[in-house]
Structure 1
Amino acid sequence: MDVFDMLELVFGLALFLFGMSLMGDALKRSAGNKLKMILGKLTSNTFKGFLLGLVVTAIIQSSSATTVMVVGFVSSGTMTLTQAVGVIMGANLGTAATAWIISLSEIGSGGQSVSAALEIFKTTTWVPIVALIGICLLMFSHSSRKKDVAAVLLGFAVLMVGIEYMSGSVAGLKDNEAFRSIMTMFENPIFGVLAGMIVTAIVQSSSASVGILQSLTTSGTITYGMAIPIVMGQNIGTCVTALISSAGATRDGKRAAFIHLYFNIIGVAILLPAYYLVNSVASLGISDKTIDMVGVAVVHTAFKILSILIMSPFTKQLEKLASITVKGKNDEEVNMLDERLLATPAIAIERANEVAAKMARISVDAMRMSIKLFDSYDKKNAQLIRDYEDKADKYEDMLGSYLIKLSSRSMSESESHSVTKLLHILGDFERISDHAVNMVESAEEMLDKKIEFSDEAKSELKTLCSAVLEILDLAEKSFIENDISAANMVEPLEQVVDYLRDEIKKRHIKRLQNSLCSIEHGFVLSDILTNLERVSDHCSNIAGCVIEISQHDALDMHEYLKEVKNDGAEFGRMYGNYLEKYSLDAEK
């Protein structure tokens, strides 16, 4: 093997790793909604968890990535440790698909003749077609989804070309005595396991290291006896990614990573001695037989299936072993927005939506409670409202930082719009909680100064508060449920709230002129009216953002308000209904 063969090997490896990365990233983007749908069906049933891990790994083509996601889910409280065991087992089997795809490159290699039926499976037949389709989609399509499909196809084509280069570069090693002497070292199973483990830990992917091993089989110097320990070591090496990722996780997150490690270590500890024992007793006769790409895929898959069959009855024991390794109760505060989920934007956005929904409920509840304080002041509720406001502030800071980090990731167009919507809406919900605290301060001022409004003012405020409570309900529903019909009802009601504020101010001035109330009453009333009106403004912003992102994939609030008000008939009908419903003279 001369320097040119070495350069060809390195070039092939670079293409292979780049192709895997390109294909994996594109698959994550294009399969985002599928991942959300699959994860929505999480269950404590281990078998269904196994199927979940199998499907997700088949989609993103990386058991390491799936396991890192599992660590993130467990750490963020989305998934329990019991659920994680089945998912990890499924992920281990799902990654075997890559080895079978790579083995297709062996069809017709080495001058072998193949039947016409098999001719179409030769990589030289269909990889150029795949690459051509990918290039056409990339150059002539404007759809982000089609561009993701193009990236998948091109990544796969580059991966297969990389395999061809690696296979070609090592083909001449068959008669190289130096290479043969190196390979004889791996007849010792300990060295084989260590070699597979180290290489996989370096490239951070068992699929990649198995692909490298498959390309080396074209040299004709690797036997089943050498390959079996190497493949088993590769399955241990792939656990390194999840272990590194779990460094900042909760205790249960760390335990999930150790379950992945112990599953593979125990599998190797049982199956490797069992292979040598059976071989010595029954003389299988394959140890000295030269292995090919398909043989590596068979060994890789067989190890995973046998490990699952052995370990599946002992999932509780696996969980207990991980708990013994990582001691202590999982009493840390759950990191609801685990950064490990950023690697899969669709999942990260789904989690951010869940946390934002909690923030929305807290802010709206704080405002509802603050309105009730004017009927019956309660010191505990006043403090609870302040606590809610502090919590809403923390949610906004946490979500804002998380979404900004997420914005730097490669996302589909719809995912980017979802992030934009969340970033705009967070501030509005946080301001609603601020206004709730302002209302508490107004209630406390009235209590301290023994201020009491007239019956007319109380009745008017009650009507306005009822309108604000309804607009809060509509805004909350439109955001959490993405309810467009509820969002469309917000702006007409917001206009009614504006009218009520102005009308109450006018009536207060008349009462002031008639000496029915004081200027001090006016200051407090003005503060209350301002806070209620601004809350309705924030509700309008929330509803407008939901409508613009959902219907127009854009965020132009001025255009939204213009369109709403220009829709004269429907807007006028809803405005009239609300004006009648919240008439200040209705109770007179």
Structure 2
Amino acid sequence: AIMGMGKVFFGLELMSGGFKPMRTMPEFVQWFSTFQADIFLGMWKCVLVGCILTCIVQSSSATLGITMGLAVNGMIGFETAAALVLGENIGTTITAFLASLGAPVNAKRAAYSHIIFNVIGVIWITSIFHPYLGLITKIMGGDPGAMVLQEGLETYPQIRGGIALVHTGFNVVNTLMFLPLVGILAKIVTWIVPDAEKKEVPHLTYLDVRMLDAGAIGIQESHTEMIKTGSHVYKMLGWLKEIMEEKDLDDEKIKKLFHREEILDTVQKEATEFLGHLMTGNITAEVVESARLQLRIFDEYESMGDYIAALLKMHIKKTKNEAKFSDEGLQELKAIHEKLVEYVEVINDGVEHSQPETLTKAKTLGDAITHDIKESRDKHLERVRNQKVSPLSSLIFTDMLNAYRRTKDHAFNIAEAVAGEK
């Protein structure tokens, strides 16, 4: 952080030095003389120039540095610099606006809030422009634009501080003014960007297409999303257990689980697109291998989500058709489910910390689950032979055992991927 701040100040110093030769260029001086904020129209011309320049550069920090460089070299006065700064505060909103294109509704609303906040702020500040600058002068204890001769050279030692104070004061005062009006601002941007008629498809939280140019950073961002995906699967198993243990169907919990499965589908699709684009870039072989690994893991998690949703559908079918499982069968399914939850927790921990040794533990737990499933199937067939199970109940029970086995298999595939096998 200290180095970053140092680079900022070093850059400002370089810009100040770079503008010095321009002080003696008649054409440059004449052009800038047309932008003087001593009258209302001139002030708004400066605001417009600051806004346009910042929109082009897409960095208010850069244009603020340019403004300071011009002011320190005496090429523009304090009033002109202050007006440029106000314009830069409008121009900086272009970055958020461009970033919101194609983004969800709330992202668009945030961008419009930024625009409204800064535009209204500039309008009311310009209405009291000269009194505002007078206040800045009083705070600084003198004219920030005053010239001081040092070794026969014209210098403006206070103007940087004056410009910074104009910028800071604008944002602080504007924020305080808008705080009581946040509710009104929210209603305005909601009117500008209404809720979508269709429910928005859930998007990834962490992945950003702007990371595609930075392979190492992009792969780390997708790893973060991969961890989150594993957490989704783990939560779905927990919700499924709650639903299956309740006597009646809980519509809210059912809806929540199915919605989470939709999120996993979207996550897998977007992760595939992101990692696919990442692999076509100029990245190292190590990043390419990591991307391939993540593609496989995202796909396995998505398949696990499908089978968990399938288990829920089977439970709903069983409940609605009043099919019954024997007490022994219910206990067998419960035991398998609990072991699977523990299994997924181990897998997720291995994914998060990239632990190849997870495979050994996963194999032991996985073999135990497979054994329980086979044993439960044998016991179930014995119950069927003894005519203790209806045909529908038998079919659903067998399908659920198969779904549990497939979920376990996909989880084991993740452990193999983490260990670098297959």
TM-score (norm 2): 0.68
Residue among 27, 34, 44 paired with 1:190:
44
Query: Residue 368 of structure 2 is aligned with which of 489, 496, 509?
Result: 496
Equivalent residue, structure 1, for 2:237: 364
Contact 1:267–1:307 (8 Å) recurs in 2: no
- The answer for the alignment partner of 1:203 in structure 2 is 57
TM-aligned CA distance change 1:283 to 1:180, over 3 Å: same
For residues 214 and 536 of structure 1, the distance between their equivalents in structure 2, rounded to whole angstroms, comes to 63
CA–CA distance in structure 1, aligned partners of residues 314 and 114 of structure 2: 48
Query: Are the counterparts in 2 of residues 491 and 540 from structure 1 also a CA contact under 8 Å?
Result: yes
What is aligned with 1:230? Answer: 84
Deviations 1:529-575 (A, max 9, x none): 22232233234345556xx2xxxxxx6344xxxxxxxxxxxxxxxxx
CA distance in 2 between counterparts of 1:269 and 1:487 reads: 66
Distance apart, 1:364 and its partner CA? 1.1
Q: CA deviation at 1:498?
A: 1.3
Distance 1:475 1:226, change over 3 A: same
CA contact (8 A) 2:74 2:156 kept: no
Match status 1:284 vs 2:143: yes
The SS at the match of 1:269 is helix
Post-superposition offset of 1:216: 5.2
- Which position in structure 2 is the counterpart of 1:467? 336
**Aligned residue type for 2:143:** L
SS at match of 1:286: coil
Higher mean displacement: 520-529 or 335-344: 335-344
Superposition pairs for residues 99-498 of structure 1, below 5 Å?
A: 100-105=9-14, 167=18, 173-187=22-36, 188-213=42-67, 221-246=75-100, 248=103, 249-250=105-106, 252-254=109-111, 256-258=113-115, 260-262=117-119, 265=122, 268-269=125-126, 272-274=129-131, 277=134, 284=143, 286=145, 297-311=160-174, 313-314=176-177, 316-317=179-180, 319-320=182-183, 322-323=185-186, 325-327=188-190, 337=203, 342=208, 343=210, 352=225, 356=229, 359-361=232-234, 363-365=236-238, 367-369=240-242, 371-372=244-245, 378=248, 380-381=249-250, 387-388=255-256, 390-404=258-272, 406-407=274-275, 408=277, 420=295, 423-437=298-312, 439-440=314-315, 443=318, 447=322, 458-459=327-328, 462-476=331-345, 479=348, 482=352, 490-498=362-370
- Contact between 1:189 and 1:229, CA under 8 Å: does it hold in 2? yes
CA contact under 8 A between 1:243 and 1:254: conserved in structure 2? yes
Structure number with the bigger relative contact order (C-alpha 8 A, sep ≥ 6) is 1
SS in 2 for 1:186: coil
The answer as to whether partners of 2:202 and 2:266 remain within 8 angstroms in 1 is no
Alpha-carbon distance, 1:241 to partner? 1.8
CA deviation after TM superposition for structure 1 residue 237, in Å: 1.5
* C-alpha contact 1:367 1:432 (8 A) present in aligned 2: no
In 1, are the aligned partners of 2:241 and 2:337 still within 8 Å (CA)?
A: no
Alpha-carbon distance in structure 2 between the residues aligned to 1:98 and 1:334: 42
Structure 2 counterpart of 1:105, which letter?
L
What is the aligned partner in structure 1 of residue 407 from structure 2?
A: 535
Corresponding residue SS for 1:432 = helix
Q: Report the 3-state secondary structure (helix = DSSP H, G, I; strand = E; otherwise coil) of the residue aligned with 2:143.
A: coil
Using the size of structure 1 for normalisation, the TM-score is 0.52
Which stretch of the first structure deviates more once superposed, 460-469 or 478-487?
478-487
Q: Deviations over 1:463-494 (max 9, x none)?
A: 35313223224414753895879997543232
Partner AA of 1:556 in structure 2: G
Give aligned-pair identity as a percent.
14
CA offset at residue 243 of structure 1?
3.3
Closer, same or farther in 2 for the Cα pair 1:238/1:341, shift >3 Å? Answer: farther
Answer whether contact 2:332 2:376 (CA < 8 A) is retained.
Answer: no
SS across alignment from 1:284: coil
Whole-Å separation in 2 of the counterparts to 1:460 and 1:452: 6
Cα offset, 1:421, TM superposition: 7.7
Equivalent-residue separation in structure 1 for 2:147 and 2:120 (angstroms): 29
- The answer for unaligned runs of 5 or more in structure 1 is 1-54, 62-95, 110-166, 549-554, 559-588
Shift of 1:429: 3.3
Find the counterpart in structure 2 of residue 578 from structure 1.
none
> How well do the aligned residues superpose, as a CA RMSD in angstroms?
5.0
Deviations 1:96-139 (A, max 9, x none): 976522133379x6xxxxxxxxxxxxxxxxxxxxxxxxxxxxxx
Distance 1:414 1:461, change over 3 A: farther
Q: Extract unaligned runs of 5+ from structure 2.
A: 37-41, 212-216
